[in-house]
């Protein structure tokens, strides 16, 4: 399907005489693609089978998406009413459907369902959790696993009940397996528990990486923790992330002699197959006063890029300025930003009071995006949370609570960026986030939206609840529906698109999201933020007539 174009509802084009003023005050155009709508025929299914519902999509670097969908129609029942599709509006194809045979699982074993969070790489490969049913399948024993592949077929990356590589004979992957992580080389990583001979509460958790069907143990609880004192072992792990060469990184806890709350958390990363300690509570915090140590590290997974650069947030023993973000992009661990530093873009006398404790995003060049609370001159509870992007030590404000929300009209401001505003970040330094609104004309029907920055850092509205949205890509046909709710996978993510997570924003400035409309229909869409000045060039080329509105307030 083709691309449409968005004009802010209040934009007035008065002709070329006023073009320079118009171009300087109006958001750049945004192109939209409709990937799938409820009621559309489901590719790969029998005639008469249609999409009846969707989960939020993931996007790769080529603008292709992957998503879980529900089905209805001829021959659809509770055994085969869900599946996973990938592609774009012109090449959407079935990856796998409930009731399909499970690779290498034996006769009669089929998929019974799938989790909604799906990792997706630039080669069009997906990594997903699947549930099984059939002969020899027991719930809570071997009915869950991870599969990876594309529309041509899936391979088993790891299944509960299978032998656990690196463990003693008889030890198998346990019934609990996390969402998979997948890089562009098709390498996956995940965490799972273990069961079997000799397994107890001290050694029943592990992290594995997988490539081409070969599963390798990265770390296991009860094993010696590299970089620590003799007798110190891993006690638990967070879900891992993975870089471009298949090296995993994770946050873990420690147990053993001399371990207490002051030194029991660390961050590790693989390098050439060896596991290295990056930072640990109780260690001196680089860039701080002598005697200042880490007292806490990321609540979530560390951020990582394809080059293996790590970034994380931490808390300090200092009574003042107790939080910060560190990165090893220079080859050593450096302080990037710290509570108490000036937040210059937020105004004179404004400083960072605390840094988000999880979901730091880092892109290919090692630039970092994060959320932070503010304090100081003029800061109130309505204006104290903000999103930032860092570039070689320079901090730029992305958005702040209390600031005017672009594309929404006079008197409308951001009211909440903290609960759903973990920034997504790409290699071009663009950021995307969702947020809630307050102000003139705002109510429960139109108080949520998605924004992103263009290559000049200008913030642009992508979609907003309550707006009319044209779901038809044909430039000669308008089919407007009113947006009821928006589903955008930024909450709990905070990704730079380089860590193998389920990404919804790519390096080309494309965002994938789901819209629910007031008429009960749903759809999967991709928005593209063009380069600055693209709209002006279209105007000068006489192409304005060919453009049409895809959204209207």
Picking from 215-219, 289-293, 482-486, 492-496, which range would have the lowest pLDDT averaged per residue?
492-496
What average pLDDT does this structure show over 525-546? 57
User: Of 190, 158, 182, which Cα lies nearest the Cα of 172?
Assistant: 158
For 443-457, the pLDDT digits (tens) are 999 999 999 999 998
In whole angstroms, give the CA distance from residue 465 to residue 455.
Answer: 25
Picking from 322-326, 390-394, 448-452, 504-508, which range would have the lowest pLDDT averaged per residue?
390-394
Residue 334: is its pLDDT beyond 80? Answer: yes
Task: pLDDT band for 14, please (50, 70, 90 cuts).
Answer: very low
Handedness of CA 530, 534, 539, 541 (dihedral sign): negative
| Residue 437 pLDDT | 97
Residue 11: is its pLDDT beyond 50? Answer: no
| Residue 498 pLDDT | 76
For 545, list phi and psi in degrees, rounded to 5. Answer: -65, -30
Which tokens in the block code for residue 2? 């083709």
Residue 37: is its pLDDT beyond 90? Answer: yes
Residues 6+ apart with CB under 8 A from 520: none
Residue bearing tokens 């920034």: 423
For 156, how many CA atoms within 13 A lie in the half-sphere containing its CB?
19
| Residue 542 pLDDT | 36
Residue 12: is its pLDDT beyond 50? Answer: no
In whole angstroms, give the CA distance from residue 52 to residue 29.
Answer: 31
| Residue 307 pLDDT | 87
| Residue 418 pLDDT | 67
Q: What is the dihedral of CA 438, 443, 446, 450, to 10 degrees?
A: 30
Task: pLDDT band for 298, please (50, 70, 90 cuts).
Answer: confident
For 34, list phi and psi in degrees, rounded to 5. Answer: -90, 120
Task: pLDDT band for 541, please (50, 70, 90 cuts).
Answer: very low
Handedness of CA 163, 166, 171, 175 (dihedral sign): negative
| Residue 26 pLDDT | 32
Task: pLDDT band for 420, please (50, 70, 90 cuts).
Answer: low
| Residue 114 pLDDT | 97
Task: pLDDT band for 365, please (50, 70, 90 cuts).
Answer: confident
Residues pairing with 268 in the sheet: 250, 277
Residue 262: is its pLDDT beyond 70? Answer: yes
| Residue 204 pLDDT | 97
What average pLDDT does this structure show over 483-503? 75
What average pLDDT does this structure show over 517-529? 97
Picking from 16-30, 75-89, 137-151, 213-227, which range would have the lowest pLDDT averaged per residue?
16-30
| Residue 545 pLDDT | 31
Q: Measured in Å, how far apart are the chain's first and last C-alpha atoms?
A: 24
Task: pLDDT band for 419, please (50, 70, 90 cuts).
Answer: low
Which tokens in the block code for residue 142? 């071997």
What average pLDDT does this structure show over 415-431? 81
Percent of the chain with pLDDT over 90: 74
In whole angstroms, give the CA distance from residue 224 to residue 519.
Answer: 57
Work out the mean pLDDT of the chain and round it to a whole number: 88
Residue 329: is its pLDDT beyond 70? Answer: yes
* Highest mean pLDDT pick, 214-223, 239-248, 359-368: 214-223
What average pLDDT does this structure show over 168-180? 94
In whole angstroms, give the CA distance from residue 545 to residue 553.
Answer: 21
| Residue 506 pLDDT | 93
In whole angstroms, give the CA distance from residue 308 to residue 393.
Answer: 19
In whole angstroms, give the CA distance from residue 158 to residue 155.
Answer: 9
Residues 6+ apart with CB under 8 A from 92: 35, 36, 43, 85, 86
Picking from 65-69, 235-239, 317-321, which range would have the lowest pLDDT averaged per residue?
317-321
Q: Are 522 and 514 in contact (CB under 8 A)?
A: yes
Residue 124: is its pLDDT beyond 80? Answer: yes
């Amino acid at each position: 399907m083709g691309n449409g174009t968005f004009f802010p509802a209040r934009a007035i084009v008065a002709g070329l005489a006023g073009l320079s003023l118009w171009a300087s005050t109006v958001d750049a155009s945004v192109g939209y693609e409709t990937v799938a709508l409820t009621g559309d025929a489901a590719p790969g299914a029998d005639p008469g089978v249609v999409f009846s519902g969707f989960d939020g999509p993931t996007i790769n670097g080529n603008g292709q998406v992957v998503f879980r969908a529900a089905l209805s129609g001829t021959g659809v029942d509770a055994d085969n009413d869900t599946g996973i599709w990938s592609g774009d509006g012109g090449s959407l194809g079935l990856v796998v459907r409930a009731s399909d045979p499970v690779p290498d699982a034996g006769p009669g074993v089929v998929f019974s369902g799938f989790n909604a969070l799906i990792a997706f790489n630039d080669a069009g490969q997906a990594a997903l959790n699947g549930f099984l049913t059939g002969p020899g399948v027991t719930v809570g024993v071997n009915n869950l696993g991870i599969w990876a592949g594309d529309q041509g077929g899936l391979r088993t990356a790891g299944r509960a009940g299978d032998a656990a590589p690196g463990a003693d004979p008889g030890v198998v992957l346990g019934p609990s397996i996390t969402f998979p992580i997948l890089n562009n080389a098709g390498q996956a990583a995940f965490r799972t528990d273990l069961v079997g001979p000799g397994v107890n509460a001290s050694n029943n958790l592990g992290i594995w990486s997988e490539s081409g069907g070969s599963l390798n143990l990265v770390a296991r609880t009860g094993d010696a923790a590299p970089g620590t004192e003799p007798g110190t072992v891993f006690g638990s792990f967070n879900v891992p992330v993975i870089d471009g060469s298949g090296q995993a990184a994770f946050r873990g806890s420690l147990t053993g002699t001399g371990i207490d709350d002051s030194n029991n958390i660390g961050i590790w990363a693989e390098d050439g197959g060896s596991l290295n300690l990056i930072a640990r509570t109780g260690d001196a915090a680089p860039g701080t006063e002598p005697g200042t140590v880490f007292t806490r590290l990321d609540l979530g997974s560390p951020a990582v890029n394809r080059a293996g650069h790590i970034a994380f947030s931490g808390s300090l023993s200092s009574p003042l300025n107790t939080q910060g973000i560190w990165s090893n992009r220079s080859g050593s661990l450096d302080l990037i930003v710290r509570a108490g530093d000036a937040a210059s873009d937020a105004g004179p006398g404004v400083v960072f009071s605390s840094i988000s404790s999880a979901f730091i995003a880092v892109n290919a060049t090692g630039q970092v995006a994060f959320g932070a609370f503010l304090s100081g001159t003029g800061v109130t509870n309505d204006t104290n949370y903000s999103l930032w992007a860092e570039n070689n030590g320079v901090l730029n404000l992305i958005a702040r609570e209390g600031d005017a929300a672009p594309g929404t009209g006079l008197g409308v401001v951001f009211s909440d960026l903290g609960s759903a505003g973990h920034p997504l970040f790409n290699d071009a330094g663009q950021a995307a986030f969702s947020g809630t609104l307050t102000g003139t004309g705002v109510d429960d029907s139109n108080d949520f939206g998605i924004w992103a920055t263009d290559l000049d850092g200008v913030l642009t509205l992508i979609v907003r609840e309550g707006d009319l949205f044209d779901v038809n890509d044909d430039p000669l046909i308008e089919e407007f529906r009113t947006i009821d709710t928006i589903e955008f996978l930024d909450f709990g993510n905070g990704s730079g698109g380089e860590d193998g997570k389920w990404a919804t924003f790519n390096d080309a400035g494309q965002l994938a999201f789901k819209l629910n409309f007031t008429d009960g229909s749903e759809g999967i869409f991709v928005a593209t933020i063009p380069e600055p000045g693209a709209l002006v060039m279209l105007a000068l080329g006489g192409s304005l007539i060919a453009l049409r509105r895809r959204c209207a307030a």
